[in-house]
Amino acid sequence: MKEVIKIEGGHELNGEVTISGSKNATVALIPSAILAQGPVTIVGVPTISDVDSLSEILESLNVEVTKVADDHIIIDPTYIKNVTLDSNAVTKLRASYYFMGALLGRFGEVKMKMPGGCYLGPRPIDLHLKGFEALGASIKYEHGLYTIKADELVGNKIYLDISSVGATINIMMAAVYAKGRTIIENAAKEPEIIDVATLLNKMGAKVRGAGTDEITIDGVDKLMGCFHEIIPDRIEAGTFIILACAAAKEMRIKNIIPQHLDSLLFKLKEMGVDMEVDIDSVTIRNGRKLKAVNIKTQPYPGFATDLQQPLTSLLTQCVGKSAIRDTIYPERFKHCIELQRMGADIELGLGRSFINGPTKLYGDVVTATDLRCGASLVVAGLIAEGITEIHEVSHIDRGYEDLDGKLKKLGAKIWREKIDA
Ligand code: EPU
C-alpha cells in the first residue's frame, strides 16, 4: 500500500496560515549542534521527515535527542561517538552532508556514505571537499564511502567557484575549531547561512560576515550549548503566497520575513498581484488578471530555484508567454511534464521552460518527482477541474510541515488515501 494525496480543485481558499521554521536552516542547524560540548535547544523545528532522518543519524552517533514539544528539541552531544555514517537515513536526504563538516570539525575525522536527496540533475559536492582539503584534510572515496580526516585543521583562505549554500555551511562548521583564521570568499548569502552562523556564535564560535560574500571564522577551543529559534521558512512562505495568488480570495501568510522574499514579491507585483506587505506577514487578494513574466533563478538575493517550480503552476493561469531559466539546476523541470498531463501548455528548452497562458488545468494522476515538484502539483491541483492524485508524496513530507492540514484549514478539499502499490 502506498499513500497518495488527492485534491478536488476549484474550491476558493480564504483565511490565514502560519509559516513553520525553515527546513533548509533546520537541516543545517541540527548537524551543527554536535559541535557544542553541551545541550543545544532549538525551537521552531518543523515537523518534516527530514528532521526524523537527521534525528536517526544523531542517535546513531550516541547523541541524545529530546522532543520537548512539537517544534522544540534538545540535542545533547555530550556522549557523542564518531561512528561511520552508513545507514539509509544518510542516503535519504541531501543535508546529511552537513555531518561531514560537523564531524570533521569536532573530531578531525568523518566516515560517511554519499548523501542522497531530491534528484535535480547532477549535484556534486566537489566544493565542500576542496574546502575541507584547504583546511588540511585528506579525502578518500572507496566503495561508496567517504573518509575525510586531518591531523590538524588549520584556517585558510578558500574561494568558492560557485557560491554554494551547502559548501559555505559545511566549511564554516569544519573551521570553527580550526587553528587560526579561515576566510570563505564568494560565500553564499542565503538567510539560512546567517541562521547557522548565529547558532555557532551563540555556542561561542567567532563567525563574522555571514550574509555577505566574505565570511571569516576564527577558530576557538570550546563551544557550549545554547538556545536558538529557527528563522521562518522563506520557501514554504513563497509556496503559500503563490498558491494564494492561484486559488485564494484573500489569504494572509503569517510568520514571514518579507525581505527574504523580495525577489518573489517583486515578480508578483510585476504580474499584477494585489498584495499588502506588513512587518511579518503578506496578504494576497485575488480578482485581477495576472500577466506573464520572465524569471531567471539565481543565488540569493536572486529568484530562488526552489520557487520556480510552484510558480510555474501559477504562470499557467497568467495571460501571455512566461519564460523561466534555471541557472542553478538546469534539469529542474520534471514538474513541467506532470503539469503538461494536467493540460498546461509548456515548451521545454535546455535549462528553460516557456509557459503559455492562460490554460485550463484538469485533475490527473501525477507524480511528485521531487519536493518542489510536489508543491507545484499541489498548486495546480487546487485550481484544476476535477481530482488530482499525487503520487510519491514522501517527497512533499520531507520538506512541508502538515501541508494538507494547513490547506484544509484554508478551505481546500485535500485528503490522503492508501492505494495498492
Ligand atoms: N555545486 C557544485 N559543487 C558543489 C556544490 C554545489 O557544482 O560542491 C553547484 C550545484 O550543482 C548547483 C549550485 O552549485 O548548481 C548551487 O548548489 P548549492 O550547493 O547552493 O545547493 P545545495 O546546498 O545542495 C541548497 C538547498 C536546495 C536549494 C539550493 C539552491 C538545502 C538542504 N538545500 O542545496 O534546496 O535548491 O541550495 O538554493 O539547503 C529544496 O529545498 O527543495 C532544495 C533542493
Taking the C-alpha atoms of residue 255 and residue 233, their distance in angstroms, rounded to an integer, is 9
Taking the C-alpha atoms of residue 195 and residue 30, their distance in angstroms, rounded to an integer, is 12
Q: Which of 229, 254, 284 is the last residue of a domain?
A: 229
The cell for 314 is 501559477
Asked if 211 and 258 sit in the same domain, the reply is no
Contact 225 CB / ligand 1 (< 6 Å): no
318 is catalytic: no
pLDDT value of position 190: 98
pLDDT value of position 114: 81
Which residue from 50, 164, 192 has its CB within 8 A of the most atoms of ligand 1, so it is best to mutate?
Answer: 164
Asked if 175 and 37 sit in the same domain, the reply is yes
Contact 328 CB / ligand 1 (< 6 Å): yes
Residue 93 has pLDDT above 90, yes or no: no
Contact 161 CB / ligand 1 (< 6 Å): no
Taking the C-alpha atoms of residue 20 and residue 47, their distance in angstroms, rounded to an integer, is 9
Count up the domains in the chain and report the number.
2
Q: Would you give the DSSP letter of residue 25?
A: H
Which residue, among 62, 24, 21, 36, has the nearest Cα to 199 in the 3D structure?
Answer: 36
Asked if 206 and 272 sit in the same domain, the reply is no
Which residue, among 268, 220, 209, 219, has the nearest Cα to 240 in the 3D structure?
Answer: 268
Q: Which of 204, 229, 254 is the last residue of a domain?
A: 229
335-362 burial, b at 16+ Cβ within 10 Å, e below that, comes to: bbebbbbbbbebeeeebebbbbbbeebb
Taking the C-alpha atoms of residue 135 and residue 377, their distance in angstroms, rounded to an integer, is 43
Average pLDDT over residues 63-85: 96
Any idea which of 40-49, 90-99, 164-173, 243-252 has the lowest mean pLDDT?
90-99
Asked if 318 and 410 sit in the same domain, the reply is yes
pLDDT band at 420 (very low <50, low <70, confident <90, very high): confident
Residue 166 has pLDDT above 80, yes or no: yes
Handedness of CA 94, 66, 86, 193 (dihedral sign): positive
Asked if 259 and 168 sit in the same domain, the reply is no
Q: What average pLDDT is seen over the chain? A: 96
Q: Are 268 and 275 in contact (CB under 8 A)?
A: yes
Q: Are 31 and 95 in contact (CB under 8 A)?
A: yes
Q: In this predicted model, what pLDDT tens digit does every residue of 336-346 receive, in sequence order?
A: 999 999 999 99
Asked if 212 and 72 sit in the same domain, the reply is yes
pLDDT band at 276 (very low <50, low <70, confident <90, very high): very high
Q: In this predicted model, what pLDDT tens digit does every residue of 207-238 receive, in sequence order?
A: 999 999 999 999 999 999 999 999 999 999 99
Asked if 127 and 14 sit in the same domain, the reply is no
Q: How far apart are the first and last CA of the chain?
A: 5
Write the burial class of residue 276 (CB in 10 Å: 0-12 exposed, 13-18 middle, 19+ buried). Answer: exposed
C-alpha pair distances (Å), 61 with each of 231, 251, 318, 377, 393: 26, 43, 50, 37, 29
3-state secondary structure of 200: helix
Contact 127 CB / ligand 1 (< 6 Å): yes
C-alpha pair distances (Å), 117 with each of 50, 123, 132, 235, 306: 10, 10, 22, 17, 14
C-alpha pair distances (Å), 129 with each of 40, 59, 121, 158: 27, 25, 19, 11
pLDDT band at 288 (very low <50, low <70, confident <90, very high): confident
3-state secondary structure of 357: strand
Q: Which of 229, 254, 280 is the last residue of a domain?
A: 229
Taking the C-alpha atoms of residue 222 and residue 35, their distance in angstroms, rounded to an integer, is 9
Asked if 93 and 224 sit in the same domain, the reply is yes
pLDDT value of position 350: 95
* Cα 286 to ligand 1 centre (Å): 33
pLDDT value of position 118: 63
Residue 124 has pLDDT above 90, yes or no: no
Asked if 201 and 309 sit in the same domain, the reply is no
Asked if 16 and 68 sit in the same domain, the reply is no
Taking the C-alpha atoms of residue 407 and residue 413, their distance in angstroms, rounded to an integer, is 8
pLDDT value of position 119: 67
Residue 117 has pLDDT above 70, yes or no: no
Range of the domain at 387: 2-20+232-419
Q: In this predicted model, what pLDDT tens digit does every residue of 378-399 receive, in sequence order?
A: 999 999 999 999 999 999 999 9
pLDDT band at 116 (very low <50, low <70, confident <90, very high): confident
What is the model's pTM?
0.97
Which residue from 165, 168, 171, 329 has its CB within 8 A of the most atoms of ligand 1, so it is best to mutate?
Answer: 165
Handedness of CA 290, 292, 293, 296 (dihedral sign): positive
Average pLDDT over residues 119-147: 91
- Nearest-atom number in ligand 1 for the CA of 188 is 20
CATH value at residue 139: 3.65.10.10
pLDDT value of position 139: 96
pLDDT band at 91 (very low <50, low <70, confident <90, very high): confident
Asked if 14 and 32 sit in the same domain, the reply is no
**Helices and strands (H, E) in the chain, number of each type:** 14, 23
Asked if 45 and 9 sit in the same domain, the reply is no
Q: Would you give the DSSP letter of residue 37?
A: S
Annotated catalytic residue, options 118, 226, 318, 336: 118
pLDDT value of position 65: 97
Taking the C-alpha atoms of residue 191 and residue 117, their distance in angstroms, rounded to an integer, is 21
